[in-house]
Amino acid sequence: MLRMFASALCLLVVMAVPSMGQTLKSDKEKSKVDFTGKKPDGKHVGGFKDVTAVAKVDLEAPEKGSLTIEIKTDSLWSDDEKLTGHLKNPDFFDVKKYPAIKFESTKINMNGETGEIIGKLTMLDKTVEVKVPVKGELSDDLLIVIADFKIDRTKWGMNYGKGKINDEVEIKVELAFPRS
């Protein structure tokens, strides 16, 4: 999921940043990771407020770039206060035992402003390879990388409610990198 993000980021940075080998750090106030979990009779939305991303860019060869993301699990929120508490407990994210979710790109494929980032997503002490489609938006002061994709929560051992809650979770990532 995040790998695709890194690909788009690298391509956009190549177009927008004049120097090689530059490291870009995300703006925490403008970056976010949101999710939608569904069940037969409804859905819930939520996300994480504390997201940090670092992109290393090689302008001559975007595929040599990289992206790392760290999400602080205790920054989790949802559309229901009781659900937020439940999501933080061992049935789901177990934020006391696992304070961070991490992503590290392993491959970046870009085609213009869209692409795919492949990487290792570590959550609940399990690492799974994910492929994430990404697109980029460029303004005078920001590079924004957007990824919309789905993951199967059970691949990380998050099995609570199996059969009553969909295994597939929709993820939307928006990372904002100041261009200056």
The closest of 148, 162, 124 to 40, measured between CA atoms, is: 162
Q: What pLDDT, on the 0 to 100 scale, is given for residue 21?
A: 66
Please write the tens of the pLDDT for every residue from 39-88: 999 999 999 999 999 988 665 677 788 999 999 999 999 999 999 999 99
Evaluate if residue 7 carries a pLDDT over 60.
Answer: no
Q: What pLDDT, on the 0 to 100 scale, is given for residue 60?
A: 66
Backbone angles phi, psi at 146, to 5 degrees: -120, 135
- The token duo for 84 is 């937020």
Distance separating alpha carbons of residues 14 and 180, to the nearest angstrom: 14
pLDDT band per the 50, 70, 90 thresholds, residue 158: very high
pLDDT band per the 50, 70, 90 thresholds, residue 138: confident
DSSP state string for the chain: -HHHHHHHHHHHHHHH--STTEEEE--TTT-EEEEEEEETTEEEEEEES-EEEEEEE-TT-GGG-EEEEEEEGGGEEESSHHHHHHHHSTTTT-TTT--EEEEEEEEEEEETTEEEEEEEEEETTEEEEEEEEEEEEE-SSEEEEEEEEEEEGGGGT--TTBTTB-SEEEEEEEEEEE--
The alpha carbon of residue 24 and the mean position of all alpha carbons in its chain are separated, in whole angstroms, by 16
**Domains of the chain listed by start with CATH number:** 2-178 (2.40.128.110)
Q: What pLDDT, on the 0 to 100 scale, is given for residue 122?
A: 98
* DSSP β-bridge partners for residue 121: 103, 128
Q: What pLDDT, on the 0 to 100 scale, is given for residue 111?
A: 78
How confident is the model over 97-121, as a mean pLDDT? 92
Q: What pLDDT, on the 0 to 100 scale, is given for residue 20?
A: 54
Which pTM was predicted?
0.86
